[in-house]
C-alpha cells in the first residue's frame, strides 16, 4: 500500500507510516454485499486480493459501474467522502482481502496533515479522469471498441468475472457480448 500511495505523490515517510498504521485487515468471502444501497459507506478499502463490483439496480436488473481488484481502492467512494447514503451496492465477486480505514480516522489524519490532503486530492483527480474516460468510451465507441479497450486494460478479468457482469459494465447486450467474445482474439 505504501508503494501504491507513493506512486501518486511523495509525502514524508513518517506521515505515511502513521496514516498506514490506522488501516486494518478485513476479509470477506465470495458474494456478500459489503455496502448496501441507502447505507453510508463507513470505510475506505484498499484491495489486497480479490475482485469486487459496484452496481445499481433498476427494475431489478443490475447495472455494473466499476470493478475493483488488487492493488486499488474499493468502496462506495462518494458515500464515504460525503458521508451520505450510497446510491448503489458493493459486492465481492471473489473472496477478498482488504485493508480498510474508518471515515473518522481518515478525516482526522487528512485534516492534520496537509501532505495527506494533497495526496488524496491527486488520487481523487485521477479517479475523476478515469470516470470521464469511461464516460467518453461509453458515449463515443461502438461495442467492439469498448470490448477491446476493456480487454487491453483488464485482461485478467475476462476469466474471473461473469460475462453477464462484463457485458453490463460495457453496456453490451449479453447475447451480443457472447458473440463478440467468440469472434475477437484475446
CA-CA-CA-CA torsion sign (33, 81, 108, 40): negative
Domains of the chain: 2-112 (2.60.120.10)
CB 98 within 8 A of CB 34: no
The residue-averaged pLDDT of 59-71 equals 95
Q: Quick: pLDDT tens for 139-153.
A: 999 999 999 999 999
Q: Quick: pLDDT tens for 8-47.
A: 999 999 999 999 999 999 999 999 999 999 999 999 999 9
- Please name which of 133, 120, 113, 104 lies closest in space to residue 41, comparing C-alpha atoms: 104
pTM: 0.92
Please say if the pLDDT value at position 186 is more than 80: no
Amino acid at each position: 500500500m505504501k508503494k501504491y500511495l507513493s506512486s501518486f505523490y511523495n509525502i514524508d515517510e513518517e506521515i505515511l507510516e502513521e496514516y498506514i498504521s490506522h488501516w486494518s485487515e478485513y476479509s470477506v468471502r465470495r458474494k456478500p454485499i459489503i455496502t448496501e444501497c441507502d447505507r453510508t459507506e463507513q470505510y475506505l478499502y484498499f484491495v489486497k486480493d480479490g475482485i469486487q463490483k459496484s452496481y445499481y439496480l433498476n427494475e431489478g436488473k443490475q447495472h455494473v459501474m466499476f470493478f475493483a481488484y488488487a492493488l486499488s481502492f474499493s468502496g462506495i467512494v462518494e458515500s464515504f467522502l460525503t458521508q451520505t447514503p450510497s446510491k448503489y451496492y458493493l459486492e465481492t465477486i471473489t473472496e477478498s482481502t482488504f485493508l480498510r480505514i474508518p471515515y473518522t480516522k481518515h478525516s482526522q489524519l487528512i485534516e492534520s496533515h496537509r501532505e495527506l490532503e494533497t495526496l488524496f486530492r491527486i488520487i481523487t483527480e485521477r479517479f475523476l479522469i478515469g470516470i470521464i474516460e469511461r464516460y467518453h468510451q461509453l458515449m463515443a465507441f461502438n461495442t467492439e471498441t469498448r470490448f477491446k479497450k476493456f480487454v487491453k486494460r483488464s485482461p485478467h478479468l475476462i476469466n474471473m468475472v461473469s460475462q453477464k457482469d462484463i457485458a453490463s459494465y460495457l453496456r453490451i447486450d449479453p447475447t451480443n457480448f457472447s458473440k463478440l467474445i467468440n469472434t475477437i482474439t484475446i
